[in-house]
Amino acid sequence: MAKALQQEDELDGFGKPSVQDFLQGFQIIKQGAEAKIYRVTFLGRPTIVKARFSKSYRHPALDKKLTHRRTAQEVRSILRCRKAGISTPVVYFVDYNSNSIYLEDLVGSVSVRDYITSTWQEKKETVSLYPLAEKIGQILAKMHDQNVIHGDLTTSNILLQKPEDEQSLVMIDFGLSFISALPEDKGVDLYVLEKAFLSTHPNTESVFEVILKSYSASSKTSGPVIKKLDEVRQRGRKRSMVG
């Protein structure tokens, strides 16, 4: 079987174009610590390709194993969310040889980050953002009830598919996600969002409080999670005081 896989890899250079060759003709729209993001057309559809790259400081065998595991976990988290009724981009194709995920490109969508910023600049008040915050809390509760920990919750990683519809929320970028039933992990997930939310959107503390109230009312296990969130907050304050 190993020989067959080797022959298949060799064919990428001679018999068929590799993923890297395919992506060369497209523009990188973002590059993070883990992957390059491309906007392409795949099977006639607008598509986002997330292509993980190797880390030169890691042993090649370990790097291959870890990169494959992260790719598989990201896809697993997306599919688990979709099964629970949480909107995410559709997964069109996964190439585990290159650790590339082909995802639906939500053309015309805006990030919740940009939406909150523009709404604040226009109205200078937060009450109009409460329905959006309530919906965010409901989605996070549903996600955590499925034991999906996002790992990178920010308002940049939540999209409004239709900017005029605050209910059309889509969760994206599950690259750091994992599966856990521990209240500690869920509390940390919320703490990451809180820190990102309040640093990105000053004067919106009341909006985040609505998110938490909605989460608490919607999640089946919110009690222990909110308790852990308070503990994580206290640890964060102590670290800040120590410097």
Where in the sequence numbering do the catalytic residues fall?
152
Is 154:191 a contact under the CB 8 Å cutoff? no
Token pair for residue 115?
């939406």
Beta bridge partners of 148: 179
Q: Could you tell me where the DSSP H helices lie in 84-221?
A: 112-123, 130-145, 183-200, 205-218
β-strands 100-104, 91-95 pairing:
antiparallel
Q: Please list the residues that pair with 31 across neighbouring strands.
A: 36
Handedness of CA 220, 150, 197, 128 (dihedral sign): negative
Residues in the chain: 243
What CA–CA distance (Å, rounded) separates 10 from 6?
6
Q: What 3-state DSSP class applies to 101?
A: strand
Distance CA 105, CA 19 (A): 18
Q: What is the dihedral of CA 168, 169, 172, 178, to 10 degrees?
A: -130
